[in-house]
Amino acid sequence: MEDMIQMDRAMSTQQDIKIRANGVQVYYGENHAIKDVSVEIQDKTVTAFIGPSGCGKSTFLRCINRMNDTIDICRVTGDIRIDDEDIYDPRVDPVQLRAKVGMVFQKPNPFPKSIYDNVAYGPKIHGLAASKADLDEIVEKALRRGAIWDEVKDRLHAPGTGLSGGQQQRLCIARAIATEPEVLLMDEPCSALDPIATAQVEELIDELRQNYSVVIVTHSMQQAARVSQRTAFFHLGNLVEYADTDKIFTNPEDPRTESYISGRIG
Amino acid sequence: MIRQVRVAQSGMAGDQMSNAMILLIVLGLGAVGYFLGRRRALAKVGGDPRGLHSLPRYYGANVAMNAVVPALVLLVGWLIIQPIVINSAVSGMIPESAVSEGSSISLLMSDVRRVADGLDAAVSQGVMTEAEALRLDEDAVKEALAGVGVALGADVTAETLAAAQRYREMAGTGNVLKAIVIIGAALIGFAVAFGRTTPDFRARNVVERGVMMVLIAAASIAILTTLGIVLSLIFNTVEFFRLYPASQFFFSLSWNPSFSGRGGGSELGILPLLWGTLYISFIALLVAVPIGLFAAIYLSEYASKSVRSVAKPLLELLAGIPTIVYGLFALLTVGPLLVQVFGDDGALGVDWMQGGTAVMTAGLVMGIMLIPFVSSLSDDIINAVPQAMRDGSLGLGATHSETVRQVILPAALPGIVGAILLAASRAIGETMIVVLGAGAAARLSMNPFDAMTTVTAKIVSQLTGDSDFASPEALVAFALGISLFVITLGLNVIAMMIVRKYREQYE
């Protein structure tokens, strides 16, 4: 077990940088929410953002697929590159970007449509399927990767809202990966789930790592320790420390990180 | 003459004064009860409110409540029942033979009441004494009453006069009895509650129950009123169907009432009117639904906060315009404009439209009237769609309009359908725009530029003017009214069911 983790570590450090953020500042009106954050996120790795509530970790996550554009008063400056392409360049279409950078939200939010239509939604609007058979295949593949195919294959046309919370969240993950994203952003994906559903989703996240760069925001330090290889600690809008997960949890450099993981702040 | 009328009114006011006096006395007892109850509660514990179960004001309120509420309920009941009792007693006195040809007992009774009121007025303004009023014979009555401003149509018969005297007598006794009973009830309530004012008495809980009773009463008044309206419609409709065959009413294709006195049979078929109503409503919805819905989508999804804060109230201003003003707009602006386009010498040269009043005129203007109705309801419903839906769709790379079309509208659809049905029931019940904009001809035509008329407009024309309420031509209004009521009730019920189903989805 220890060996495997060591191997993972070794592999992950060798991998390319997928997302490179440099000097990112975010303002909500007058409020300076993210202060000069620079971070490099590796491909095929699970990166966890931890920190107390209101520290800016979700805000930063939403910068990566430009979801903050949908909030009127939000202003982002600085430089975020995915595969060396500046995503805030005026030539970049945020709509196309979001197809490439999938997102899973805190609360499961299936559309009031059938399970099939939920998953087919992204491929349909982006024209990824040439035919009905093609679409069926995409939907099945996404549901299989979302580790929910066996549970729903007999009722693909039942409403997605009728599933249990854990199933809904896995459906949302399947929906996000149906558009073949390169990066998957997860904003506290397990906070509305019970422990069993959480375990299923965590297992799924670990599998997704083989194909995607996964960034997960979490309130649970245990969860960060379980699923991630790299961890970033945010505090009051600053990126305090960013390192391998076991280093953060066993030997943090910054006293604030140590206070947080030992439960003294946050 | 003017002076006499005023005096006659003051005579009637004098009768009401006694009710007002009773009310004042009861309320006064309540006010006194409040202070006495409060003081007694405090006195029992030596001025220290901590020894009481409830705050002192609850003891006061309890006494006031017990004094006022039962007495008021009794007063209302008495005012409803007394005229009924007297009416039935007095009408029993009038022999069958006294009811002349072409008249009815109810007409005679209204004569009796007029004579009785006139005598009351005469006595109260001192034209005659009570004793004189009692001794008056039937020949002198008409003259005497004309002197105090009460004009009587027919000659007063002996039976009528006797009945009127009996009526006065009973009303007088009733009024005295009423004052005694009601003030007595107030006093008893006062005494009971006052006696129960002890430190252990749970005045707070009793007042709480009283508050609940008041709220229940308010709710039941609203419901009972609806019930009363429906019952009055039903009774008159039954009366109508006794005079006119129901099959003719529901299935006849022509509406051609002849007014009684001018002879000839009337044709009173509802179908041409219903056709006009539905046609105009359909055009109104054709205008209101797309415009209202698109406006709602813009306001709730696209508009910035500052635009929304200005545009939404402006749009809702439309809802505050009285419908008669819309009617004028239809008559003076929209109608002539349409004639210029679709009329004989119009821009299109098609000669579809003969005059300014037409289904199209009324439909367009009614559609404009309904825009704020549709948009405001739809706006609320679209706003109720959870933000998580929008985020989920945008996060998948959908554009804003794709999100609206494929996620938000399907999620809001049941609510929007409910809003449209509510708008439809308003369109069906609308009157003024139709009266001014659609014309008065009842006809079954497909041409939207023809003048037609609706159920509501015909109800107005059947009941206004010189109408005899016993003729089928007037009673048909009630049958039309109840038909309309059933249709709009059905639409409202369906709308409510859909809206409720939608609400459950996100709870």
- Rounded to the nearest integer, the mean pLDDT of chain A is 88
| Nearest chain B Cα distance for residue A95, angstroms | 5
Query: pLDDT band at A216, cuts 50/70/90?
Result: very high
Selected residue with higher pLDDT from B493 and B355 = B493
Taking contacts as CB-CB distances below 8 angstroms, the residues of chain A near B390 are 70
Identify the CA nearest to B397 among candidates A178, A6, A53: A178
Q: What percent of chain A has pLDDT over 90?
A: 45
Residue B80 in tokens? 């409803």
pLDDT at B263: 46
Please answer yes or no on whether B393 and A111 come within 8 Å at the CB atom. yes
| Phi/psi at B183 (5° precision) | -65, -35
Q: Where in chain B is the domain with CATH 1.10.3720.10?
A: 277-506
Provide ipTM, 2 decimals.
0.85
Residue A27 in tokens? 């303002």
pLDDT at A15: 60
Does the pLDDT at position B345 exceed 90? no
B388 → closest Cβ in A99, A109, A176:
A109
Identify the CA nearest to B445 among candidates B270, B273, B247, B257: B273
Does the pLDDT at position B507 exceed 70? no
Compute the count of residue pairs across chains A and B with CB atoms less than 8 Å apart: 71
- Rounded to the nearest integer, the mean pLDDT of chain B is 84
pLDDT at B87: 84
Q: Which of A203-207, B66-70, B143-147 has the lowest mean pLDDT?
A: B143-147
To the nearest 10°, the Cα dihedral for B347, B350, B353, B358?
-80
At A33 the three-state DSSP class reads: strand
Query: pLDDT band at B154, cuts 50/70/90?
Result: low
B399 → closest Cβ in A95, A107, A122:
A95
pLDDT at B464: 81
pLDDT at B14: 43
Residue A6 in tokens? 């060591």
Closest Cα in chain B to A107 = B388
| Phi/psi at A23 (5° precision) | 55, 45
CATH for the stretch A16-261: 3.40.50.300
- Which runs of consecutive H residues, i.e. helices, occur in B252-301? 271-297
Test mutation, B396, B399, B407, B416, chain A, max A CBs within 10 A: B396
Does the pLDDT at position B262 exceed 60? no
Give the start-to-end residue ranges of the domains of chain A: 16-261
Query: pLDDT band at B197, cuts 50/70/90?
Result: confident
Report the Cα–Cα distance between both ends of chain B, in Å, rounded. Answer: 69
Query: pLDDT band at A38, cuts 50/70/90?
Result: very high
Selected residue with higher pLDDT from A70 and B300 = B300
Query: pLDDT band at B2, cuts 50/70/90?
Result: very low
Please answer yes or no on whether B392 and A111 come within 8 Å at the CB atom. yes
Rounded-to-integer distance, Cα A22 and Cα A40, Å: 9
Number of H helices, E strands in chain B: 19, 2
Q: Are A198 and A190 in contact (CB under 8 A)?
A: yes
Residue A74 in tokens? 């939000």
Rounded-to-integer distance, Cα B114 and Cα B493, Å: 45
Taking contacts as CB-CB distances below 8 angstroms, the residues of chain B near A165 are none
Q: What is the largest CA-CA distance in chain A?
A: 57
Query: Can you name the residues that pair with A215 across neighbouring β-strands?
Result: A47, A185
pLDDT tens-digit readout, B42-56: 888 888 888 888 888
What average pLDDT does this structure show over A176-202? 88
Please answer yes or no on whether A103 and B395 come within 8 Å at the CB atom. yes
Length of chain A: 266
Task: Give the strand pairing for A46-50 and A230-235.
Answer: parallel
Identify the CA nearest to A142 among candidates A208, A199, A188, A210: A208
Taking contacts as CB-CB distances below 8 angstroms, the residues of chain A near B399 are 95
Identify the CA nearest to B247 among candidates B231, B265, B270, B277: B270
B277-506 falls under which CATH superfamily? MetI-like (1.10.3720.10)
**Does B407 reach chain A within 8 Å, measured CB to CB?**
yes
Does the pLDDT at position A135 exceed 80? yes
| Phi/psi at A191 (5° precision) | -70, -20
